[in-house]
Amino acid sequence: MTVLETEPLAVSSRRRGTAPRRRGRSKVGYYFVAGYALLLTAFGIFPTLYSFYLALTNDRGQFTGFNQFVKVAQDFRFVPAFAHMLLYLVMWLILLVVLVVLVALVLRTRVRPGTSALFRFLYYIPGALAGVASVLVWLFMLDPDVSPVSWLLESMGMHSFAAVLAPGNLPVILVLIAFWTGAGGWMVVMYGALNNIPDEVLEAARMDGAGPWRTAWHIQIPMIRQWIVYMAIMAFATGTQLFVEPQLLQTASLGRVSPTWSPNQLAYVYAFQQGDFNGAAAISVFLLVLGLVAAGLLVARSNLFKLDEK
């Protein structure tokens, strides 16, 4: 038998030998995904479907169509709650995207590697605190009687805790709390995304005469655009779930803050004070649809899931 005759046999035998291994590797992936899929189904998909069921029925399980949605939308507290949340989201997303990207760029281009690691660690520390602990820290900071920055609060005309928690100040306070706890982690993510940009690309920009800011605007930011969009989507989804911060502020202010300031608080009142779980589910579906629409628009306009061409 010649070499030409034996070569196809050798190739086919190698293929037969590797096929089982490939199938084995593919099964391993399913095993890794199975745990997540199980938890997603139990704590994500099933509760979502159950919320739709509650929102479309009454307390006796009878199908009522969109009656629950109409009922909660006509509640005098519904529009103010969603208006508060949308104002908070606009302020929160603008501050988050601008400052996180800016700080990550400065750390990447202006700070030495060893020092930038220290800064990244310091930025991340507030994110290690739970939401409740963060609010308690800020309650201490915002009380002019005990705050270490009471001079700053008093210079702005806030001489009492009640003046600090005036309704017009709440969006700003909640944005500061959210930024303090959540921005550090995203700074680390953006810094990692910037590190994935090849040094050859940045060196070519410098050779063409581009300064740091032109390089950032025309090269670095466009190349991490997908990460910025992903951050905006996740921050938007987190912002729509606003509950712990205004609820604790409402308790600490002895009722000066509205108990239905955010949609989640309104849903809480429906479910646990009025015993209307169907109405609470309708509010949750409103929030879900709002989040899906916003995420869909961002994904469509940014080509978030577009694969890079080889």
Q: Give per-residue pLDDT as tens, 44-90.
A: 899 999 999 999 999 888 999 999 999 999 999 999 999 999 999 99
**What share of the chain in percent tops pLDDT 70?**
82
- Using the predicted structure, report yes or no on whether residue 303 has a pLDDT greater than 50: yes
Looking at 20-24, 254-258, 277-281, which range is the least confident one? 20-24
The SS3 call for residue 63 is: strand
Long-range contacts: 220-226, Cβ < 8 Å, 24+? Answer: 220/105, 220/108, 220/194, 221/101, 221/105, 223/197, 224/101, 224/190, 224/193, 224/194, 224/197, 225/302, 226/302, 226/303, 226/304
Residue 124: pLDDT band with limits 50, 70, 90: low
CATH among 1.20.120.640, 1.10.3720.10, 3.40.47.10, 3.30.470.10 for 68-302: 1.10.3720.10
What pLDDT shows up at residue 270? 95
The pLDDT score that the predictor gives to residue 309 is 47
pTM of the model: 0.81
Domain residue limits, the chain? 1-42, 68-302
User: How far is it, in rounded angstroms, from Cα 229 to Cα 34?
Assistant: 28
- How many residues belong to the chain? 310
Across residues 206-234, what is the average pLDDT? 87
Q: What share of the chain is helix, strand, coil (3-state, %, to 5)?
A: 80, 0, 20
